[in-house]
Amino acid sequence: MEILKPKLVERPWGGSRLASWCGGDTDTTGETEKRGAIGEAWVHEGNEPPRVLLKWIDAREILSVQNHPSDPGYSKNEAWYFLEAPREGRIVTGIKGGIDDEAVPERLLWTDVKKGDFLFVPAGCVHALTPGSFVLEIQQPLNVTYRIYDWGRGRPLQIEEAARAFRAGPPSLRRCPLEPGRHILTDRREFRVECVNGPVVLSWRRPYLAAVVKGPKEGVTLLCESDEEMEVRKGERVILVTDGEDE
């Protein structure tokens, strides 16, 4: 069992929690004018390219309205577990009509979320985290984002690419169960995610990532080998992540 050291990435919308919360090395190539505005902490199992990527995300400001590629073989599905809900209790999860540069804020669709919620965001879906969101993101490791609206930050937009990738299917929201045991949140070809509430002894038939989201080791991400056991104690919660490939 190995504790993984995250890579800290600066973002213009980032906050101040991640540097002290989970440690790591700062990526000085991030997009920010404010030193120390850490928006993301990246973790994966060490393969290049990784099979699945985890990001701890601290959103001090609203993120760009965006989507990701959705073609077969070139797509980015992702999911969010909310350690803290946004201050206004809602996030962007769609847009009315097609994608263009006309009156974007007025056409946005919203979903209410709470602490402990899990949201699967399919490739092509328009989305944006909002201020105060503190999440664990599980995603396919494709680092391609199409910005549709960026709230005056002046970064480039990719309207045409976003329109081609657009899929209107809504995200799926789940409330994480409180009962002890293992609870499947999503089981897809891209990745499998479980919510594990202690007390339970955790293991999996393939290598897996265990992100501690509640308990004394909150913020730690562990890489566990095939069939390696991990004890999740009473009052602790772990998000188990593995690739969704069949054996």
Q: Are 183 and 19 in contact (CB under 8 A)?
A: no
Kindly state whether residues 140 and 23 are assigned to the same domain.
yes
Report the distance separating Cα 231 and Cα 245, nearest Å. 25
Here the CATH number for the domain that contains residue 15 is 2.60.120.10
Instruction: Write down the pLDDT at residue 206.
Output: 86
Kindly state whether residues 84 and 141 are assigned to the same domain.
yes
Kindly state whether residues 191 and 109 are assigned to the same domain.
no
Final residue belonging to a domain, choices 142, 175, 208: 175
Residue 6, both tokens: 């995250």
Instruction: Write down the pLDDT at residue 247.
Output: 44
Final residue belonging to a domain, choices 175, 201, 230: 175
Q: Which residues of the chain have pLDDT under 50?
A: 33, 247
Report the distance separating Cα 159 and Cα 17, nearest Å. 32
Query: Which domain does 204 fall in, by range?
Result: 181-242
CA distances from 33 to 13, 21, 89 (A): 10, 22, 28
Kindly state whether residues 125 and 143 are assigned to the same domain.
yes
Report the distance separating Cα 220 and Cα 4, nearest Å. 8
Instruction: Please give the tally of structural domains in the chain.
Output: 2
Final residue belonging to a domain, choices 117, 145, 175: 175
Instruction: Write down the pLDDT at residue 139.
Output: 97
Positions annotated as catalytic residues are 147
Instruction: Write down the pLDDT at residue 23.
Output: 66
Burial of 9 (0-12, 13-18, 19+ CB in 10 A): buried
Residue 92 lies in a domain: yes
- Which residues are paired to 27 by β-bridges? 9
Decide the pairing of beta strands 25-27 and 7-15: parallel
Kindly state whether residues 79 and 154 are assigned to the same domain.
yes
Report the distance separating Cα 6 and Cα 200, nearest Å. 26
pTM: 0.94
Residue 57, both tokens: 């995300």
Kindly state whether residues 83 and 189 are assigned to the same domain.
no
Residue 247 lies in a domain: no
